[in-house]
Amino acid sequence: MNPAIAEIDWSHALASDPGISVAIVSRDGEVIFANPGAFSLFGADDQAPVEGKHLNELFHPEFARERMEWITSVAEWRKTLRVRHIYQGRDIVSTMIPLASPAGRSHVLVVSRSATPNDPASSVEEVETEFIDLGRLASLSNRELEVLVLLGHGRNVPETARMLYRSPRTIERHKEEIGRKLGASTIAEIVKIVNTVGLTVDHLDLKRLEALNPELKPSDEAEFNDVQAAQ
């Protein structure tokens, strides 16, 4: 190893960018390490005891099961996998990389970040998720979500009505309800939400769930302080 690399304080380096989540997970699903960005990106309380926990303790059982399948595959076959998924209403890219372990245990490095609209194509094998965590958009019914996505991708009300076999008046009512729930009453605001979240019509077929164990979420007071600090 290059001496310059050996002298790097990796714990400090990995803590320097809150927008990048870095976690090390064992083949058995135990979290060995999680940097501050992992708490920020995945919406967990930064005081929550995460290291030493199994993924089943941190996430919804089905969500954890899917990720365990990927981690097992990465560790067993020593290949890198990539997934782009909607988590708490955010478009996230996660890359799972096999790590060599001196002790003989298999570990996987999971690096996650917010996706961008112009993310370049990757040569890494991609896997598809069965689930979607809509975050604040979870207040929408399935029909309202369909309307949101279609309007957000440039369909007007009559076109959306034809595609969903509903009347334009019904679509207008759904649009009004979307505006009431999300505070987005204009088409431009709806387009912005859909683009920001990265929603497509393909996401409408995914199973909706709340991924993070509710016990690990920040308190209302902590969330308020985070909002105030960001303003």
pLDDT digits (tens, 9 = 90+) for 21-35: 999 999 999 999 999
> In angstroms, rounded to a whole number, what is the distance separating the alpha carbons of residues 205 and 188?
25
Structural domains of the chain ordered from first start: 3-130+207-223 (3.30.450.20), 136-205 (1.10.10.10)
Over residues 38-60, mean pLDDT: 93
> In angstroms, rounded to a whole number, what is the distance separating the alpha carbons of residues 150 and 129?
21
Instruction: Name the more confident of 11 and 35.
Output: 35
Task: Taking the CA atoms of 5, 25, 199 and 213 in sequence, report the sign of the dihedral they define.
Answer: negative
Residue 60, pLDDT > 80, answer yes
> In angstroms, rounded to a whole number, what is the distance separating the alpha carbons of residues 65 and 70?
9
Neighbours of 135 (CB within 10 A): 16
C-alpha distances (whole Å) from 216 to each of 34, 39, 57 are 14, 10, 10
Average pLDDT of the chain? 88
pLDDT at 180: 96
Residue percentage of the chain with pLDDT more than 90 = 75
Band (94; pLDDT cuts 50, 70, 90): very high
Residue 7, pLDDT > 60, answer no
Residue 46, pLDDT > 80, answer yes
Give residue-wise pLDDT tens across range 64-85. Answer: 999 999 999 999 999 999 999 9
- Residue type at 53? K
C-alpha distances (whole Å) from 187 to each of 60, 156, 195 are 34, 9, 12
